[in-house]
Amino acid sequence: MPSLAPLLSQVTPAVVNIAVLSAGPDADNPMLRDPFFRRFFNAPERQKPQVSAGSGVIIDAQKGYVVTNHHVVKDAREVLVTTKDRRQFQARLVGSDAGTDIALLQIEAPDLAALKFGDSDVLNVGDYVLAIGNPFGIGQTVTSGIVSALGRFGINTEGYEDFIQTDASINPGNSGGALVNLRGELIGINTAIIGPAGGNVGIGFAVPSAMAQKVVAQLARFGEVRRGRFGATAQDTTPDVANAFGVKANEGAVIVEIVNDAPADKAGLRRGDVVMAVNGRPVRGSGDLRNQLGLVPVGDSVELKVLREGKPLTMKVTIEAAKASATSGRQSVPELTGAKVGTVTRNGRNEGILVVEVDRSSAAWNHGLRPGDIIVGVNRRKTRDTAELVAALRAVDRPLSLNILRGDFGITLIIRP
């Protein structure tokens, strides 16, 4: 009878369970660690450390590298990895990247099995896939399905998105586990679900292997992802632009602004250019361009395929380190409840408003505002400092649209009452 058992016998030993011990909310307050002060101030009992479950995938048996999700090991005090044969090992965090939700752990263990990365760029909707992980902490579980969609975004608004969508059952605890093809290759890292009750409803998401591999390479080398500066902002190709340049509406990204003396400017890029590919990989839109350039290490060069007035061009761009900037002030704005902002200055000039801090339980966070965002306009009215921001916010009726630079690329956030 047809069976996936032979394939799974080769694959599942490389998928591990991860137990994470996180410190309680008051762990960093030395006064609240003292029982006397607790009684004196009538403070509540100390909360015990929290234990959560996740999954991981061994990608290098010799070095003991295990890839998982950033959100699985975030704020971890201890990480324990359990292999399929029930061996347990303390793990060391090599590095983690919140932008792509990828983290790299390392364990010292003999006789490990590892999965090879497959090429997620050749996936098609309808391809069969298997999801392997530790749902609800019950132990290793295998589910099957197909690739439901590719290039999904809007799931992790503060990050780099290019998700594989699948109907293979993914539940809490599957995070960091493997999405494999029928050749037994790792083509995704399971990361999120959409489920009204917190369980599976047939819509799960995985970080594609093409993205995960690039992140892991930098985490292994630097312990972090070192994102550089491209120096241009882009937008999706609209039907009008597509007709003008003879491209499909879902192809390419249109350059709308270029920073003087930035890498894009030095390479000869111009406003109105349509970037069609990066290092031979097609660009599906401005988000895809951001994803690809955001994973290029500082100092590396990329080859861009560009259409300029219908004529194809090839350009070489070297990604540079981000220029240092200063931030003056740190204030709260009532119209952006939960956020603290300051004015960004470069070379003595005000260039926008930096979002310094956002309370995760606030309205500003729920609207999509994130630390590191630079607000450059309100309803397309330029704002160069906090005073202009406050004036612009109070001069318009709700809803508001915030024009934001996130990295090199512009996004718009709608804030409703």
Question: Catalytic residue numbers?
Answer: 71, 101, 175
Cβ-proximal residues to 273 (8 Å cutoff; 6+ apart), any chain:
254, 255, 306, 307, 308, 313
Q: What is the CA radius of gyration of the chain?
A: 23
Residue 143's closest CA among 208, 202, 69? 202
Tokens in use for 381? 């009215």
- Strand residue runs (E) in 240-300: 253-258, 274-278, 281-282
Check residue 252 and report its DSSP letter. -
CA angle 40, 42, 46 (to 5 degrees): 105
Are the C-beta atoms of 167 and 146 separated by less than 8 Å?
yes
Tokens in use for 113? 């099995």
Separation of alpha carbons 69 and 192, rounded Å: 10
Tokens in use for 386? 């906090």
Are the C-beta atoms of 169 and 131 separated by less than 8 Å?
yes
